[in-house]
Structure 1
Amino acid sequence: MPVTVKSVIHFIPGCVKKDFFTTLLDCKSGIFMGFDWSELGCNMKVNFDDIESVRVIYEISCLIKSDEKLEDKFIKALEMVRDAVGCNSGSLFIYNEKDEILEEVATVGKRVELIETTQFDMGTGLSAWVAKKRDSVMLPDIRKNINGGFKSFISSPLVSEDKLIGVINIGHEKPNYFTKNHLKFIEIIAGELANTIERTKYEKELIEKNTALEIAKKEIEKQHEQIIEMEKNQVLAQIAASLNHEINNPLTSIIGNIELILMKGTGIDNVVEKKLRVIMSEGKRIQKIVERFRNIKQIVLKDYLSTSDEKIIDIDSSSGLNETENLS
């Protein structure tokens, strides 16, 4: 039964009908994917008069849009092409822009390449010539014995928006196995692969750039926090210097005079003497607190009151005071 527009639409899931047929189906001519499926020879393993053929193309389209690793996509796509066309082997070559040369990235079956000893601008073999010309080649009947024993050969460039992506080759051990419709089929697959490879490369570059931006953002935030911390410490150093000047100097005079009174004073009332010694002790404690302010290395806060959310500077922790030390 020939493939009709009605039977194809019945097979394709509703969620993909619009996009699928916009790109693959010419409803006016009744030609599916650009060529007449009914004229395919009986050579093909999958009969394109059967709706199963549409499923193969659909699965390849889903594969190249999936989130699998690019290397896995290459292998699976080649396996699907091999199974759909019924060929023995297939190879995929990707163009290395930096070195300006084709590199083999995937092969199913035997490596498919011709005239491997011949050097072209983009490497050795017929694939390099196809890449240079950006035009497909089909050799249906190779009479000379070549590596792999291929008698039929197709090579098609992978091009996305005039940009060379690579080359796909398929081979068969039987002569005259491939037809023009096989060639058309491979060219469609080559276009799909070229687009997805280019899209994947672009997405990878975006991910790398986003990652770099995230790292740079975190580094900027870290440096910003360090600057704020440095500014805080600078302010504290200025406060400590002011405290030393404004408090410590007069405090030294007070403590000195009290010590002089206690040394030379006679007949001082015991209560008064006790008060003077308390004043001198507290004065020396204030001196130690001022000294701690001068030694603050980082700001450590603590609760002011257990019943309040207010915070104050923990002078001991901020200045690196040992647990065994105290202010007495």
Structure 2
Amino acid sequence: MTAAPAAPDPHDMPHIPVLLDEVLAALAPIAGGVFVDGTFGAGGYTSAVLGQGAATVIAIDRDPTAIEAGQDLVRRAAGRLKLVHGTFGALDEHARGAGHDAVDGVVLDIGVSSMQLDQAERGFSFRFDGPLDMRMSRTGPSAADVVNGLDGRDLTRVIGLFGEERRAGQISRAIVRRREQAPLATTRDLVAVIESVLGPKRGPEAHPATRTFQAIRIFVNRELEELGLALAAAERLVSTGGRLAVVAFHSLEDRIVKRFLAERSRTSAQGSRHMADVAVPPPTFRLDRRNGVEASDAETARNPRSRSARLRFGVRTDAPARPLALADLGIPDLAGMRFSG
């Protein structure tokens, strides 16, 4: 009998998976199990989990380019990899569609992939001049539609909430003035408007456009909503003793993951000195450590992208999954946004 082709070593891949060894340790044991990689990207985590002997990996990505590029790995995995085009917010539905009502672990790598950042035509990065797109799925309203069509007050809210930009109002007003003359069409157009307010990049500090680009990308892709939906879906899908591991690169996403795991692992609510602790539903996750795991100095030297990464993980208990309101995780409601794009 011919052995199945080996998965490539993810340590040798051009897009290095962040905190890879720590993620594998958080998901262990892996051999013989069924796992979901909710953010396939270049396939780094998927390759590593397959290399650790997983029986099946269900990998999900909303980007059709990633799905197309992943077909070679599907072939080499010889039936052990199911690659699904879709959003990770529905990862439990995708797993059931692949024939699995429960899995042994879920891994999520939150944010934009390095592949997307490196493609000028995708418009994710201000390092290149390209169309203002930023759509991970390549469908729906683009970044150009947002900056040219969103009400000015809502644009201020987007930049302030998702970019944590203190001068969001000034930037949004500058964008509105610019689009009244001509629509913003390229990343360079948007950078020029932001620099007119904040000035050009100086020294080693981050480019002044960083926060605004991040905000618009998160809004275009509904990234925080998807993350909240994915956490709830993982709670429903992971079997008792299974693992949920999430790598986040920004404080916005990390706070959501931290809040979810903290709330889902509580055994009681703190009362006052006059009242006993308040009973809470049984915890759905157990945390082996409360603090996030950060990259080592060696990894950050090898892969600068890992510098801001933080891994949080939990072990699923046998308690039933509970309903989740996105507002309880601090995820803003965007339903009232006035958008004419």
TM-score normalised per structure 2: 0.23
Work out which of the two has the higher radius of gyration on C-alpha atoms and give 1 or 2: 1
TM-score normalised per structure 1: 0.23
